[in-house]
A and B are shown apart, each in its own frame.
Chain A
Amino acid sequence: MLELDAVTVRFGGLTALSGISFRIAQGEILGLVGPNGAGKTTLFNSISGLVKARGRISFNGREVTSLPLHKRARAGIGRTFQIPQPMHHLTVRENLAVAQVFGAGRYDEKRIDEILAVMELSHKADADAATALALQELKRLEIAKALATEPKLLLLDEVLAGLESNAKRSFMLKLKELHALFGLTIVIVEHDIETISGLCTRAVVLNFGQLIADGTPAEVFNNPAVVESYTGTAHA
């Protein structure tokens, strides 16, 4: 459903992504792996339209390379930010309402309630999003907001970071539940090998802006180049 063909992003003289090509099939849960600075967030930014990329990005058979941010959201690409970005000064419910009205083009209060319940935010529905939520709640709001736009593809940027192992396991189950419940295709940025192995059917590894491995989690994590790039960061 998503095809990347030689996607390249340069910031001034710095090449953040060079010639990234791969495809994601409907219904996949793909892990995006790589050391810090490898270009994972830049890849998300170029897919969601926050940065301009060269090359070709197609979504559901339609080229979106030069489509503006808001149109990609409406086309069905939802994303979260690593540092949660709630819409400030709006309540949690208003955050979802705006996302739904503009992202999905309709207003359905029942569905908002449903998303709030799934993301365990019902009790904070009328709280101010920016000031009254704890970090983990903000992260759940990030996902809830993206879900409210009724995406087909969901890009999750380190949503599991900072959770202790039990919470992480239950959140992984939550993501699988969302995947089934909303019929999603998911790309998730994650560092933890176990999480990727437990959650994803496939993993793609970036390093220094280049794609260095693509395969099942087991294949990828036994790839010598991947092991090297990873042990490199483990020491850093």
Chain B
Amino acid sequence: MPVTSNASAQAAPAAASQRGRGALIGAGLLALALLPLVAGASPYMLGLLISALILAGLALSWALLGNLGGMVSFGHAAFFGVGAYGSALLAGKLGVPVLLAIPLGGLIATVFSLAMLPALRLSGPYFALAILAYAQIFRILATELDWLTGGAAGLQRYPGLPTVLGFNLADRAGSYVLVLACVVVFALVYMALRRSHVGTALRAIADSEDATRVVGVNATVLKTWMLLLSAFIAGVFGALNAHIIGFLEPDYAFSGIWSVMPIIAAVFGGYRSVLGPIFGAVVIYLFDQVIAKSLIPVGHQILLGIVLAIMVLLAPNGLSGLVARFLPRLAGRGLSNAEKGHA
């Protein structure tokens, strides 16, 4: 047994330094994320960053479902829109405090996702398109149920973000911090989940379903939890977005954009990692809004389509996969281990 004890003796400090490096990277990223506030970014730039972070949360939710649940969704707009309408209606019609209405909006999206449970037994493309169908149905329902949702004209009179302890969340800097905090919290939840035994089992289900079930794993239940969690996260960011922009209409809240952009962002950044989708969302959104739009005012999404196609063909593990492959020293053991999990 000398081999074993030797290996574990090496593994312990490596794991510790890995954790230390992880914390360092996390702190560095957080500092970088708060830089715009300190450096006094223009309101326009802050507005862009807020939208980018909303998209980051949505991309995180999409990637969680894809990576842990093994499901590709072409209809995340469904959860995003339901969360937005749920929160806006609770706050606007029932007077629920906004900061409570936002997580409740996420919960409502979760409840609506229960309607999608029958789709869980469908394989790949059938599941993807079934979710797309739900997104369309919800959009049409939001348009038709005008006594509740204001119909095609939409909702405008509902409260925005409040002031908490003298800190005005409704101004750009406040909104930025709030959305950033939500992204960080859900990223931490995702990381913890991925490291847990549940995460390990989910990783196994994707490629070896029978082998996993035969040792007692209930694949359906675990996938269900991932769908519910993904819906919750997407719903929360839909709700946040609703209170930040201050208006909702069905064609906006359930727009295909909210289904398409997270896919592009997550695939670009690497949907099998946690930071990939977040980083991908920021890069892709800023690229689209700042560069692509100025180059091609109408039809700028063609560039996103090209980026997506190139990534799938040349780097299917996204930027995080490239980083793990080409910067092994910088990334260290942590990322190379993570990449193993990705493959």
User: If A123-B3, A126-B11 touch, does A97 touch B214 (CB 8 Å cutoff)?
Assistant: no
Q: Which B residues are CB-close (under 8 A) to A125?
A: 4, 7
The distance from the CB of B2 to the nearest CB of chain A, in whole angstroms, is 10
Question: Is A89 a contact of B343 with CB atoms below 8 Å?
Answer: yes
Question: Is B215 a contact of A89 with CB atoms below 8 Å?
Answer: no
For A158-194 the 0/1 string (1 means CB < 8 A from B) is: 0000000000000000000000000000000000000
Scan residues 1-30 of chain B and give those whose CB is less than 8 A from a CB of chain A: 1, 3-4, 7, 11
The CA of A123 and the CA of B3, in the complex, are separated in Å by 6
B329 in the interface, Cβ–Cβ < 8 Å?
A: no
Scan residues 69-98 of chain A and give those whose CB is less than 8 A from a CB of chain B: 69-71, 73-74, 78-79, 81, 85-90, 94-95, 97-98
Scan residues 181-224 of chain B and give those whose CB is less than 8 A from a CB of chain A: 197, 200-201, 203-204, 207-208, 210-219
B124 in the interface, Cβ–Cβ < 8 Å?
A: no
Question: Is A149 a contact of B215 with CB atoms below 8 Å?
Answer: yes
A30 in the interface, Cβ–Cβ < 8 Å?
A: no
Question: Is B211 a contact of A69 with CB atoms below 8 Å?
Answer: no
Question: Is A88 a contact of B214 with CB atoms below 8 Å?
Answer: no
Question: Is B215 a contact of A148 with CB atoms below 8 Å?
Answer: yes
The CA of A123 and the CA of B5, in the complex, are separated in Å by 9
User: If A70-B217, A73-B215, A122-B4 touch, does A85 touch B210 (CB 8 Å cutoff)?
Assistant: yes
Scan residues 140-164 of chain A and give those whose CB is less than 8 A from a CB of chain B: 145-146, 148-149
Q: Which A residues are CB-close (under 8 A) to B219?
A: 70
The distance from the CB of A48 to the nearest CB of chain B, in whole angstroms, is 6
User: If A73-B215, A97-B200 touch, does A89 touch B341 (CB 8 Å cutoff)?
Assistant: yes
Question: Is B210 a contact of A101 with CB atoms below 8 Å?
Answer: no
A230 in the interface, Cβ–Cβ < 8 Å?
A: no
B121 in the interface, Cβ–Cβ < 8 Å?
A: no
User: If A123-B4, A146-B215 touch, does A85 touch B208 (CB 8 Å cutoff)?
Assistant: yes
Question: Is B3 a contact of A87 with CB atoms below 8 Å?
Answer: no
Q: Which B residues are CB-close (under 8 A) to A97?
A: 197, 200
The CA of A128 and the CA of B203, in the complex, are separated in Å by 13
Residue of A nearest to B205 (CB): A87
Contact of A50 among B3, B197, B210, B212 (CB under 8 A): B210
Q: Which A residues are CB-close (under 8 A) to B203?
A: 89-90
A208 in the interface, Cβ–Cβ < 8 Å?
A: no
The distance from the CB of A46 to the nearest CB of chain B, in whole angstroms, is 13
User: If A87-B211, A123-B3, A123-B4 touch, does A98 touch B340 (CB 8 Å cutoff)?
Assistant: no
Scan residues 311-343 of chain B and give those whose CB is less than 8 A from a CB of chain A: 340-341, 343
Q: Which B residues are CB-close (under 8 A) to A123?
A: 3-4, 7
The CA of A90 and the CA of B217, in the complex, are separated in Å by 15
Residue of B nearest to A74 (CB): B216
The distance from the CB of B12 to the nearest CB of chain A, in whole angstroms, is 12
The CA of A139 and the CA of B240, in the complex, are separated in Å by 52
A103 in the interface, Cβ–Cβ < 8 Å?
A: yes
Total number of B residues with any Cβ neighbor in A under 8 Å: 25
User: If A73-B214, A73-B215, A126-B11 touch, does A88 touch B197 (CB 8 Å cutoff)?
Assistant: no
Contact of A89 among B11, B216, B217, B340 (CB under 8 A): B340
Question: Is A69 a contact of B214 with CB atoms below 8 Å?
Answer: yes
The CA of A88 and the CA of B341, in the complex, are separated in Å by 9
The CA of A128 and the CA of B340, in the complex, are separated in Å by 8
Q: Which B residues are CB-close (under 8 A) to A86?
A: 208, 211
The distance from the CB of B206 to the nearest CB of chain A, in whole angstroms, is 8
The CA of A97 and the CA of B207, in the complex, are separated in Å by 17
Q: Which A residues are CB-close (under 8 A) to B210?
A: 50, 69, 85
The distance from the CB of A85 to the nearest CB of chain B, in whole angstroms, is 4
For B136-180 the 0/1 string (1 means CB < 8 A from A) is: 000000000000000000000000000000000000000000000
Question: Is B213 a contact of A70 with CB atoms below 8 Å?
Answer: yes
Q: Which B residues are CB-close (under 8 A) to A87?
A: 204, 207-208, 211-212, 215
The distance from the CB of B337 to the nearest CB of chain A, in whole angstroms, is 9
Name, among A85, A107, A149, the residue most crowded by chain B CB atoms within 10 Å (CB to CB). Answer: A85
A87-B212, A99-B216 are known contacts; what are 14 more A-B pairs with Cβ within 8 Å?
A50-B210, A70-B213, A70-B214, A70-B218, A73-B214, A85-B210, A89-B203, A98-B197, A98-B200, A98-B212, A101-B201, A103-B217, A122-B4, A146-B215
22 of the cross-chain contacts (CB-CB < 8 Å) are A48-B214, A68-B213, A68-B218, A69-B214, A70-B213, A70-B218, A81-B211, A85-B208, A85-B211, A85-B214, A88-B207, A89-B343, A90-B203, A97-B197, A101-B201, A102-B201, A122-B3, A122-B4, A123-B3, A123-B7, A146-B215, A149-B216
A: residues with CB less than 8 A from B are 48, 50, 68-71, 73-74, 78-79, 81, 85-90, 94-95, 97-99, 101-104, 107, 117, 122-123, 125-126, 128, 145-146, 148-149
Counting from the closest, the 3 A-B pairs by CB-CB distance are A103-B216, A87-B204, A85-B211
